[in-house]
Structures are given as structure tokens and as C-alpha cells.
Amino acid sequence: MVRQRGSYPRPARRPYTKRHVNPIFFGISGRFLDAMTSPAEASKSTGTGVRQALRKLRRGMLLLFLALLVVAAGHSDYRPTELETAMAPHRYSILKWELAHLSHKWTHAASLLLPGRHELSDAEKSQLVEEYFDLAQAAQNLERQQRQVELGRGGLSSDGSASVPLPGPAYLDTAIAKNREQRRELLPHVEYIVEQTIARVVREQGLDTRWLGVFPPVDTTFGESPNVLILSPRDRIYRQDGFLLDPDLTIDIKEDLETVALETEDLSAVVAGTAGLSVYPSVVADALGLRYAMEVAAHEWLHHWLFFRPLGRNFNRSPEMLTLNETAATIAGQELGDMAYTALTGGEVTRPWVRGRPNGLDFTAEMRETRQKAEQLLDQGDIEGAEAYMEERRKFFVAAGYNIRKLNQAYFAFYGSYATGPGSISPIGEQMREIRRLSSSLGEFLDTVAQFGTYAEYLAYWENLESAAAPKAQG
């Protein structure tokens, strides 16, 4: 039985330990380890003795790892929480992702170096990429129709109104399978074209290195991006933890997980979709079209690039550092993505990119007003009042044409990390835009912000910038 908001008793909380594995570090370090210990590399060594030594070294490292694992297990009293147990069947595995995608990406790249391969013209590259993204959007429509048929809504649209009857299950199964096969054949070529296009723009902006060129190499995979479960305390908006989940969760599963977090740990929770993930290669959703995919691919590569600099290495040091990272990647990713889109297709991109305003609503202004009011209620200790207000505002947005399933503290904790977005009231967004405006190039902007290792360093830089600008404004 679902109880009303605010009626849940507050259980005793177990001590909180942040669980985090940096996916970028894992992806890159795993790639180097594979290169060092693969049979192909070992075969290059001369002499039987060297090969035997390598085998013994690998065997010894494995035994050491197993011994440490046994010792750790013997001293562990780990007991999963109810939330962890509920999440377990739906967790998104970065390890499986790396094993499934990293090797074939570089195998395909190596195959392109073979002699005798046809080099596509710019027009052919653009046509190939646009064909893939047209298929990706068609696949989304086919899968939506399939869900409606499965729910017995073959002659109705998603809102229940009359519509043209949908195709039968057999036709949809065949069409989806054909679409999937077409995308599978195009995918390696499309990814390579997009990667090379972004890399070219990166070099033009002076973001490459003298000896390594574009580093890390631009490497991305298009497909389904995972969901993420965000947890926040109920008495404030704060991103306490996040867990990657499979991309194909049903609404029932999402709401079950959110309810478990609320009832067993007294935490606000939301399961949200993502457009990309900065593992290596990065994951980029392909269902939103080529233009947005270019932007997201550039955004995720910038996280890879920042990882080797103070800003990226301190990504999780504080909520403010997380916001600085995401905002820098958003501002620069939009520019790089737009330039790459133009370089590939010849199409011009204008900003701001207005996606339309259902019923004339200014979504950004309304959502920021909602965030500010919710913060005020929480500051006054009125948790139930804040939650009731956010639910009321959610219904307002849905009625205006914005399909928001959950609007709570966790929602703002997640979307508020992007200071240029509607869910944020942080001053960092406008500050970073001003830093970009004052920079002579995108490269100068990124070189500047990449050096901030703490939020205090960033504030000191901003205050100096304001002080320098004050006399000019007065004059």
C-alpha cells in the first residue's frame, strides 16, 4: 500500500559511506593494462624466458589478488540495505560495458588502416551519419508503437484519443529487427566519422597536445544511455549519492525503487534518464538526433580531457566542484558540438537553441521559481510543505505540456548540477558564461577553468575578475 507523502516514520539511519568508482579512470587504466598484458603484445617479446617471466608475473598478480580478496571477505560484515537489494537486478555494469565495447572499437579503427579501403567523401560521410540517426529515431517510434500494442491500445494514441490503428505485433517485430540490423551495420562507421570530426574541431581550437595529438582520443559509442538513481536528504537539496541503472527500466520499477529509498532510508529519490556517460568510450544516446548527439559526445569527451587537469580530478570534491565541471563541459560542449555538426553537415547552428514553449510557458523561469520556493520551505523546516508544493508544481508543468514524472529534492539535486539549466539557481552558470565571453577563444576558456582544483580557487579568480571589471564599468 502506498502511503501519503510525509507520513513515513523516520528509521534509524545506518552510517553513510559514499560508494564511488571513477568511470573515466577505470576505462583508461583498463585499456592500458590490456595493452601491456595481451598475448599480441607478449608475442613481440624476444626469447622464451621473457614469455615465461610474463606468464609467471601475471599468475603471481592473480594469486595475490585472490588472496587479498579472501582476506577482505573474511573481515567484512557487509549487509546490503533494502535499497541495494532492490537495485541489484537493475544495476548498470561499467565492467560489462568496457568488455563489450572497448576492444571492438579499436579493432574497427585498426581495420580502417588496411590498404585498399574506399575513402568516403564529405557528402557520403554526412549522408551515412544522417541515415543512422534517422533510423535511431524511427526505432524509437516503432518501440513506442510496440508498447502500445502490448498494452492493448492498438487503435489508440498514447493519450487515449482515437488514432490510426497501429500495425500488428508480427509486423512490428520484423520492422524493429530490420531497423536494429541496419543500425548495427552502420554504427562502427558512424562512430568513427563523428569521432574524427570532433577531433578535427578540437585540434582547430588548440586543445590538442604537442606529442600526443588529441588526448585522450575522442572515443564514443551511440546507443542507449543508462538511467541514474539520485538520492537526496529530504530536509535539503543535496546530491548524496547516485547509482547507474539499466536504460530499459519500466515506470513501475523506477517508482518502486524511489519508494524503497523513501520508506527504508527516508531519502528523496528520482530515477532519471541520461543523455550520455563519460566512461571510455563514452555512451551517447542516439534517439534525440544528430545535432544533440554531437553536443553530448563533445560534452563527454571534455570530461575525459578535464580528468587530466585539476578541475576534472576534483570532480567529486564538493557539490560546487561537480557543478563547475558540468557547467564547463556544457558550455564548451555546446560550442564544440555545434562546430562539429557544421563541419560534418554544412548546416549552421544558432544559439540559444529554443526547443519550443508549450502553451507559451517560460519553462526555465518557472522551474527556477519552483526551486527557490522549495528551498525557502526546506530552510524553514517545512519538509512536507515543500514536497506538497513541488508535487503541485509538477502537475502544473504536466498540464502545460512538460512530462515530468517526479519533481522532488533529488530531481533538483541532479539537474541543479548543470548551472546553465532550468533546475539550477547557482550563480556559477552566469559566471562561467561571463568568463567564456571574456576569453579570446574556446581553448583559452578551457585552459583557464581547467586549472581550478578547489571551489575557493575559482571564487578567488572570479572576485579578481569582478574587481578588474569594476573600474571599467564606472568609467
The residue ranges of every structural domain in the chain are 36-78
Helix (H/G/I), strand (E/B), else coil: 365: helix
Give the pLDDT score at 107.
Answer: 65
Sole residue written with cell 544522417 = 130
Sole residue written with cell 608475473 = 57
How far apart are the C-alpha atoms of 227 and 268, rounded to whole Å? 17
pTM for the structure as a whole? 0.77
Give the pLDDT score at 79.
Answer: 79
How far apart are the C-alpha atoms of 260 and 207, rounded to whole Å? 45
Give the pLDDT score at 62.
Answer: 64
C-alpha cell at 424: 539550477
How many CB atoms within 10 Å of residue 167?
Answer: 16
Smallest CA-to-CA distance from 407 within 374, 445, 376, 440 is with 374
Give the pLDDT score at 4.
Answer: 40
Find out whether 94 and 279 touch, Cβ atoms under 8 Å.
Answer: yes
Extract long-range pairs of 104-113: CB within 8 Å, 24+ residues apart.
Answer: 104/188, 105/188, 105/191, 105/219, 105/221, 105/281, 108/188, 108/192, 109/192, 112/192
Find out whether 275 and 285 touch, Cβ atoms under 8 Å.
Answer: yes
- 247, with CB counted inside 10 A (0-12, 13-18, 19+), is middle
Angle, alpha carbons 183-272-395 (nearest 5°): 120
Sole residue written with cell 589478488 = 65
Q: Residues in the chain with pLDDT < 70? A: 1-63, 65-78, 102-118, 151-164, 352-359, 470-475
- 17, with CB counted inside 10 A (0-12, 13-18, 19+), is exposed
How far apart are the C-alpha atoms of 245 and 270, rounded to whole Å? 12
Sequence letter at residue 330: T
User: Strand order of the sheet with strand 276-277?
Assistant: 220-223, 282-285, 276-277
Give the pLDDT score at 163.
Answer: 56
**Tally of residues, the chain:** 475
C-alpha cell at 345: 553537415
Sequence letter at residue 214: V
Sole residue written with cell 547507474 = 244
